[in-house]
Chains A and B, each alone.
Chain A
Amino acid sequence: QKEVEQNSGPLSVPEGAIASLNCTYSDRVSQSFFWYRQYSGKSPELIMSIYSNGDKEDGRFTAQLNKASQYVSLLIRDSQPSDSATYLCAVNQVGSARQLTFGSGTQLTVLP
């Protein structure tokens, strides 16, 4: 079982809709959770971080963390074609020092 799992997609949503991206992780005591956006041919860009249960909002992005269920999600409101990218979930696992474990990513396409 992979330590960090994401649906690979592709996920398609119409412009203006809410895109919902999900991630589950296996290490129950993971502490830090991150969402990265990666455009085709580019490097990962950090867009959200979340450390405690609940929601964290930043503009059109909301990260949601549920440690009891071991999942973290990213909601993108009012999706735009410029949001079309691969979204990577990353988790810091206890005992791994400063390492992050990445999921394989979900490809999102926002249709105009």
Chain B
Amino acid sequence: NAGVTQTPKFQVLKTGQSMTLQCAQDMNHNSMYWYRQDPGMGLRLIYYSASEGTTDKGEVPNGYNVSRLNKREFSLRLESAAPSQTSVYFCASSPPIRGDSYEQYFGPGTRLTVT
């Protein structure tokens, strides 16, 4: 049981290049999330998917697109990378809601640098 996995671990892009960050979970979770983490800013939600086939914008969606390929996989695409997108990107997943429980479990992260 690998939990939440992300690829790649590190990436360097030039301004204007595109790339897709991959995320997969094997915990049969319904909901999946993409965050970025910048120094002093905490975790900010980019997009999330409450269930297979649905996606919604979070706090900072501009410059990103997502695809919920199936229940396991949720990808994040940067169409034209900008230096402001230099960050650490985390994918997370969450099991079906039980009562008030909304806990999320995180992948190892992708460190992206845009030059």
Contacts and interface: CB of A to CB of B under 8 A. Distances in A.
The contact size tier of chain A is 20 to 34
A51 B40 CA distance: 27
Sort A-B residue pairs by CB-CB distance and give the 3 closest, nearest first.
Answer: A104-B42, A43-B106, A102-B43
Interface of B: 31, 33, 40-45, 48, 50, 56, 58, 90, 94, 97, 99-109
Contacts of B90: 43-44
A104 B41 CA distance: 6
A58 to B, nearest CB: 14
17 contacts: A31-B100, A31-B102, A32-B101, A34-B102, A43-B90, A44-B90, A51-B99, A51-B100, A97-B56, A98-B50, A98-B94, A99-B33, A99-B58, A100-B102, A102-B43, A104-B40, A104-B41
Given A49-B101, A98-B94, A42 B108 contact: yes
B105 to A, nearest CB: 7
A69 to B, nearest CB: 19
Contacts of A92: 100, 102
A32 B100 CA distance: 6
A98 B94 CA distance: 8
| Residue with the greatest number of chain B CB neighbours at <10 A, chosen from A8, A97, A98, A104 | A98
Given A98-B97, A99-B58, A46 B45 contact: no
A38 to B, nearest CB: 9
Nearest to A92: B102
A49 B40 contact: no
Contact of A44 (B43, B44, B97): B43
| Residue with the greatest number of chain B CB neighbours at <10 A, chosen from A8, A44, A88, A92 | A44
A43 B108 CA distance: 5
Contacts of A43: 90, 106-109
A105 B42 contact: yes
Interface in A6-53: 8, 31-32, 34, 42-46, 49, 51
Given A51-B100, A98-B31, A44 B45 contact: no
